[in-house]
Structure 1
C-alpha cells in the first residue's frame, strides 16, 4: 500500500513527465500538422467546462485511430510551451470522454506518432520515458539537497530536467542503488574511486592538474580517480587485469574527500578545487552515453588554447560575459602493460579514464544560479524564477512587472551580444542553453554570466579552416567544424528557444502583456547587436519574422538517431523589429 506522500510523489512525477512529453509533441507534431485547437470549445469533457478549473482548454485531434485528447493549461508561452493544469481526457471514436491515465497517454501519443511517421511504435523510447518518470519519483522520495554553498545548491536543484525532452531523467546502464548514490537531484556527495598508478600510464593534455586534484582530495599524489559508475567496467577489463598483474596499477577503492555531482551528473564539484572534473561514464543520460571520447579530450584542451585570444577580446568588449575554459584533460594509457588486446579495446579503456578539467567559477558574488534551475517549477508547482523576482521586487520596493522587465533586460544584455559576436564576428558556435548558463545576481539583478561546455563548442570553417587548427587531429577537426547554417541553428536554438524563451515564460506568466514586452526588448537588443556586427543576414531575417529553429529531442529519440544528427522544427515567434500595430505578429 502506497502512503499518501508516495501517491503525491507519483502524481508529481507523472504530471511533469506528461507536461514534458506534451511540450515535445505539441511543438514537433501537433502544431506543425495543425492538429491542435487552442482555446477549444464545443466537444469537451464536462470536467474541463467547469469554471473551477482555471486556464486555457486545449484539444488535440489525432489521426487514426480517431481519438481526441483534451486538457487545461495554466499558462502558455509565446513559443507554445505549456504548464499543464489538469488530467488528460480522451475520447475514442463513438465513445464518451474519459480520464486518460499517464501510461495510456504515453502509449497513445507514441502510437499516434508512429502512424504519422509510418514507423513501428518505439518500445525503447517508451521504456526511456517510463524510466525517466520512475527516476523522478525516486528522486522526489530522497530529495534532500544540502546547502554547502549557492553553486552546489543550484547545480543539484534541477529536479524535473529539460522541459522539451521526452525522458529528461532517463538513466540506463546503472542500477537503482548506485543511481541514488551519485545523482545530484538527491543532494548526493560521494568519494571517487582511486587507483595507484605507475607514472608511465598517465597521459595529460594542456596544463598538468591531476596531481593537484589528487593532493586536495586525498592528501597524496601519484593516484588517479574514476567515477563510481565506471569502476566495474574498468576493473573487469582484461587490459586492466594484465596491467594490474604487472603492478602498473592498483585499485584502492573509494577514498578521500567527497565531491558533489552537478546538473550534468558526471561533472563533479569540490569547493577547494580550482577545476570541475568532467568524468567519463558509460551511462545513457537522455540522448547519449556520456563517455569522454579521446578526440573530445583533445578538442576541449585544443579549443581552450586556440580561442584564448578570441575569448579575451569578446569578454573585454562585453563585461559580465565569460566563457569557462577547459585547460586540461587526462587519461590512462594501459598499452605499456604489453597487452594483446586490440587498439579499439585500448582506446575504450582510455575513454573510461578520460577526464576533462573545467575551470572553477571565479566567484565574488554569493547569489549564484544555474539558469535551468530558475526556469523550472518547484514541487508545489510554482516557478522558481517567478518567486525569486517577486521576492526581489518586494525587497527593492519596486513594481513587480517593471522589476521583472529590468531583470530580463539585464540578463539579455549579459548573454546575447557576447554569444552573437562570437558566432558572427569570430565563427565560434557556443551552446548557451539553460543548463550551460550560470548567472550571478548583484542587488537582485543579473551581473555576470558564465557559459560552459567548451568541449561541445564548434567552429565555422570560413573563419577556422583546417590550417588554423594546428595541433588538432583530423578526427578532432571533423568533430569541431560546423557550417554557417548549422552554427546559426544551434546558437539560435540554444540561446533563444531553449534558454531565453523559457526564462521569459517563467518570469512573465502572472502578468498579462508582460511576455510580449519582454520579447520586444529582446528584439531591440538583437537589432542593436546586429547593426554592430554589420547586419548578418541570419539576424536581419530573424527580425523580419523568419522562423526560429528548435531542436527535435522527441523525433531524435523516436527515430533512434544520434544526438549529433538531430534535426529542427521551425517556430513562429514575436521577435519582430519595429513592432507596432501594422506588424502585429501572432505568437499563437
Structure 2
C-alpha cells in the first residue's frame, strides 16, 4: 500500500473512532460517572468501579484515557466499549450481550459511511446537505450509527450519510387486502396499478428484509411487482423517511432494523392513533378558530397511511406533507440536527452576529412548542431530528417547522407533568442545549443561556416559571435504557444541572 493510501486509511479510521467514541463517552459520563476536578486541563471522572477516566473536550469528548498501574492509558474504541461494559455491570449488576455488538457495529458503520461519502457527490441543495450530514448522530446514544449488524453492502445504498438517492419499488396490493386511513390519493398518483389492485410504494431495503415473510403473498397474487418510480427519492436523517422532491412528499416506511433505541417499524398501535394525533396538532397550527401557535411556524402533517392486512406493519407507508406549501417564500429549511453536526454552508458557522442569530433562532422555535402545550394540550417532540429551521437569504432563522405525529403526546392521554417533562427534555435538553453548545464552541465567550431564559420568560405558564427556578433538567438515559433492555419508548430521566437557573 502506498504511503498516501495508508495515511488516508489511517485518517479515516481515526475519524471513525472519534465519531463513534464521542456519543458513547457522552452517555457514560452523563449517566454513571462522577465529575472530579480537572487534571492538566482535562476533565476527569470517577466511574462506578472507582476507576478514573479523563477525556479532551466537553461537547464531543475525545481521546479517553483510563488511569491504571500509576499511569494514564489511551483507550481505542474497542477498549472503550469493554470499559463501558465493565462499568455498567458494576453499576447495574446486569449483563448485556447485545449492546456491545451494537457499539462496535456503530463504529464500523461510521467507517463505511466515511469511505462511501468520500466517493459521493455532495448535494447542491442545502436542505438535503443538512439532513444527510449526521456522521456522529445522536450526541447521547451509545450506538447511534448501528445498522442492525448486517453487511454494509446491504444498507449503504440507502444511507443518508452517503448521499444516497434511489427510486421506490412499486407493488400492486390486491384491493381486498388494503388497509388505509386518510386521503391516500398522493400514493395513487405515484404510478399505475392494474385493475383490482392499489398502488403500494415500498422502501427497497425493507422489501429485501421482509422478502421471506412476503413470499406467500407474491405467490398467490395478493402482491404483484410493478417496477419502480420514475423519480428518485432521498433518505432524510431518519433513514426510513424519504423525500420525493418531484411530488414534494415525505414517505415514511417500516424498517426492520434497530436504529438507536427501537426497531423502526410503523407499529400497528401507533398507526391506529395517528389520525387523531395528527388532527390535534393540525388544529393547533391552524389559524382557523381559537388560539393558534405563535409566529409563522408550520406542522408537516402525517396525513394518511396505506398497508396490507396480512403484513400490517411490514408494508406500511405513511405520507407526510412536503415543504413547498409550508416554508416561507425565499426561506431555506434546514434540519436542526444538521446545524449541530455541521455541514458545508451552515448558517450557524457563518453568523456575523451570533447573539442576534441565536435570538432569532429561539424566537422561531420556542413559542410554537409552548403555545401548542398551553393552548391545545399538544406536546410536540421538538428534538433535533424533528425540527426544521428555515433561514432567510442572510442565514437568519425566520421559521420553525415540526414533524412526526408518532412522537407527539396529547395531554388528554398523559398526565400534564409527564407531558411537560417530555417537552423540556426534547426542546431544552436534546435541542436547545446542543445548538447552544455548538454556537458557543465556535464563538468563545458567548453565553447562550440568558437569551433562552428571556425567550422562555415571555410565556406566562406556571411550568415555565418553575423551570427557570429549577436546579435540574431531565436528561434521558439512553445508555442505561439499552443496557437494561427497557422498551425504547420507556423514557427514564436523571437530573442534569439547569443552566437556566444561573443565566
TM-score, length-scaled by structure 2: 0.91
Relative to structure 2, which stretch is displaced further, 428-437 or 222-231?
222-231
Distance 1:484 1:91 in 2: 46
Please name the residue that 2:302 is paired with.
Answer: 326
Distance 1:58 1:216 in 2: 61
Distance 1:309 1:427 in 2: 11
Tell whether the 8 Å contact from 2:349 to 2:442 is kept in structure 1 after alignment.
Answer: no
Q: How many angstroms does 1:271 deviate by? A: 0.8
Please name the residue that 2:435 is paired with.
Answer: 503
1:224 is aligned to 2:183: no
Relative to structure 2, which stretch is displaced further, 503-512 or 309-318?
309-318
Relative to structure 2, which stretch is displaced further, 227-236 or 413-422?
227-236
Q: How many angstroms does 1:9 deviate by? A: 1.2
Please name the residue that 2:170 is paired with.
Answer: 194
Work out which of the residue numbers 380, 395, 410 in structure 2 matches 1:459: 410
Please name the residue that 1:338 is paired with.
Answer: none
1:526 is aligned to 2:456: yes
1:261 is aligned to 2:260: no
Relative to structure 1, the CA distance from residue 283 to residue 324 in structure 2 (aligned partners, 3 Å threshold; closer, same or farther) is same
Please name the residue that 1:357 is paired with.
Answer: 319
Please name the residue that 2:347 is paired with.
Answer: 388
Question: Residues 454-475 of structure 1, C-alpha deviation per residue, up to 9 Å, x if partnerless?
Answer: 12211112xxxxxxxxxxxxxx
Tell whether the 8 Å contact from 1:436 to 1:452 is kept in structure 2 after alignment.
Answer: yes
Please name the residue that 1:427 is paired with.
Answer: 377
Tell whether the 8 Å contact from 2:19 to 2:135 is kept in structure 1 after alignment.
Answer: no
Question: Residues 10-58 of structure 1, C-alpha deviation per residue, up to 9 Å, x if partnerless?
Answer: 111111221111111111111xxxx2224x23xxxxxxx4xxxxxx411
Tell whether the 8 Å contact from 1:543 to 1:575 is kept in structure 2 after alignment.
Answer: yes
Q: 3-state SS of the aligned residue for 1:496?
A: helix
Relative to structure 1, the CA distance from residue 390 to residue 196 in structure 2 (aligned partners, 3 Å threshold; closer, same or farther) is closer
Q: How many angstroms does 1:553 deviate by? A: 0.9
Please name the residue that 1:487 is paired with.
Answer: 419
Relative to structure 1, the CA distance from residue 211 to residue 525 in structure 2 (aligned partners, 3 Å threshold; closer, same or farther) is closer
Work out which of the residue numbers 83, 88, 95 in structure 1 matches 2:60: 83
1:133 is aligned to 2:107: yes
Distance 1:261 1:111 in 2: 36
Distance 2:193 2:171 in 1: 13
Q: 3-state SS of the aligned residue for 2:67?
A: strand
1:376 is aligned to 2:341: yes
Question: Residues 64-102 of structure 1, C-alpha deviation per residue, up to 9 Å, x if partnerless?
Answer: 3x53222222xx4xxxxx2335x222222x443322222
Tell whether the 8 Å contact from 2:191 to 2:229 is kept in structure 1 after alignment.
Answer: no
Distance 1:217 1:196 in 2: 6
Work out which of the residue numbers 485, 488, 491 in structure 2 matches 1:560: 485
Please name the residue that 1:70 is paired with.
Answer: 54
Q: How many angstroms does 1:525 deviate by? A: 1.5
RMSD of aligned C-alpha atoms? Answer: 2.5
Relative to structure 1, the CA distance from residue 430 to residue 91 in structure 2 (aligned partners, 3 Å threshold; closer, same or farther) is same
Work out which of the residue numbers 445, 465, 475 in structure 2 matches 1:540: 465
Tell whether the 8 Å contact from 1:88 to 1:100 is kept in structure 2 after alignment.
Answer: yes
Please name the residue that 1:154 is paired with.
Answer: 130
Unmatched segments (≥5 aa) in structure 2 = none
Work out which of the residue numbers 376, 393, 396 in structure 2 matches 1:445: 396
1:6 is aligned to 2:9: yes
Work out which of the residue numbers 206, 211, 215 in structure 1 matches 2:182: 206
Tell whether the 8 Å contact from 1:217 to 1:257 is kept in structure 2 after alignment.
Answer: no
Distance 2:220 2:163 in 1: 39
Tell whether the 8 Å contact from 1:297 to 1:330 is kept in structure 2 after alignment.
Answer: no
Distance 1:272 1:217 in 2: 20
Tell whether the 8 Å contact from 2:453 to 2:468 is kept in structure 1 after alignment.
Answer: yes
* Greater C-alpha Rg: 1
Q: How many angstroms does 1:315 deviate by? A: 8.4
Q: How many angstroms does 1:118 deviate by? A: 1.9
Please name the residue that 2:81 is paired with.
Answer: 106
Question: Residues 131-160 of structure 1, C-alpha deviation per residue, up to 9 Å, x if partnerless?
Answer: 111101100001125325232222112221
Distance 1:62 1:493 in 2: 25
Q: How many angstroms does 1:452 deviate by? A: 0.6
Tell whether the 8 Å contact from 1:214 to 1:224 is kept in structure 2 after alignment.
Answer: no
Distance 1:110 1:350 in 2: 37
1:270 is aligned to 2:244: yes
Tell whether the 8 Å contact from 1:365 to 1:440 is kept in structure 2 after alignment.
Answer: no
Distance 1:133 1:315 in 2: 47
Distance 2:491 2:46 in 1: 26
Relative to structure 1, the CA distance from residue 247 to residue 318 in structure 2 (aligned partners, 3 Å threshold; closer, same or farther) is same
1:304 is aligned to 2:286: no
Distance 1:235 1:177 in 2: 17
Please name the residue that 2:332 is paired with.
Answer: 367
Question: Residues 426-465 of structure 1, C-alpha deviation per residue, up to 9 Å, x if partnerless?
Answer: 211110001111111112210111011112211112xxxx
Unmatched segments (≥5 aa) in structure 1 = 42-48, 50-55, 77-81, 334-345, 379-383, 394-402, 462-480, 577-584
Tell whether the 8 Å contact from 1:192 to 1:225 is kept in structure 2 after alignment.
Answer: yes
